[in-house]
Amino acid sequence: MGRVRRVLTGPLVIAVLVVAVTGAGFGLYWFQPWKLWQDETVQEALPGAVSTSAPPASAPAAAPSDEPSGQSVPATGPHTVASGELISHEHATSGTVKLVRLADGSHVVRLENLETSNGPDLRVWLTDAPVRRGSAGWHVFDEGEHVSLGRLKGNKGSQNYVLPADVDPSDYRSVSIWCDRFDVSFGAAELART
């Protein structure tokens, strides 16, 4: 019995145990497998969108317009300039992506009805890469120009991501839900101009 105790408390066994525990801890941190069973739902309204529960009691009379008849006045609210449907890459992903120009001239990328897996270090990227189906499209988004719009707020729901003021949205053609830890796209959408 004493010999078994000496073997189990020997420096080699202790070193192996320390390495195994450290490796398991690192693996759990790196892969974060518990996120596969955790959903984060985010429901954000589109910035600048006004919703009313009832029409006003009396609407003011319209002021005469200086616009010639037949010409439309530009909209002052949010306007979708491009959109696309998300396709699955590394993980099943669905929903709609919209590039929206707000009344102040700024832009947001809006994810609507997003459904994807949760994962470690997920980002929303605006990219110049084409969207390819299947595994051929998993790794293309970091090869060209891309702008990270921040961490994915939730793997389900509708959410907004503000474009930096110095980014010209016409230089980009797709959006990817990008896993920065493993350099892989969970899903992506080609932006078709409207």
Q: pLDDT per residue over 152-166, tens digit each?
A: 999 999 999 999 999
Chain segment 112-165, per-residue pLDDT in tens:
999 999 988 999 999 999 999 998 888 899 899 999 999 999 999 999 999 999
Q: What is the pLDDT of residue 13?
A: 66
Q: Judge contact between 114 and 157, C-beta under 8 A.
A: yes
Among left, alpha and beta (phi > 0; psi -120 to 50; other), residue 35 is alpha
Q: What is the pLDDT of residue 189?
A: 98
Looking at per-residue confidence, does 82 or 58 come out higher? 82
* pLDDT tier at 78, thresholds 50, 70, 90: very high
Burial 42-54 (b: 16+ CB within 10 A, else e): eeeebebeeeeee
CA angle 111, 117, 120 (to 5 degrees): 100
pLDDT surpassing 70 at residue 59:
no
Looking at per-residue confidence, does 187 or 54 come out higher? 187
Q: What is the pLDDT of residue 35?
A: 57
Q: What is the pLDDT of residue 24?
A: 53
Strand 156-162, strand 41-43: pairing: parallel
Long-range Cβ contacts of 138-142 (<8 Å, 24+ apart): 138/89, 138/90, 138/184, 138/185, 139/183, 139/184, 139/185, 140/185, 141/174, 141/176, 141/178, 141/185, 141/188, 142/178, 142/183
Q: State mean pLDDT over 99-113.
A: 97
Separation CA 183–CA 83 (nearest Å): 24
Q: What is the mean pLDDT of the chain?
A: 81
Q: What is the pLDDT of residue 67?
A: 40
Q: What is the pLDDT of residue 42?
A: 96
Q: Judge contact between 73 and 80, C-beta under 8 A.
A: no
Q: What is the pLDDT of residue 56?
A: 44
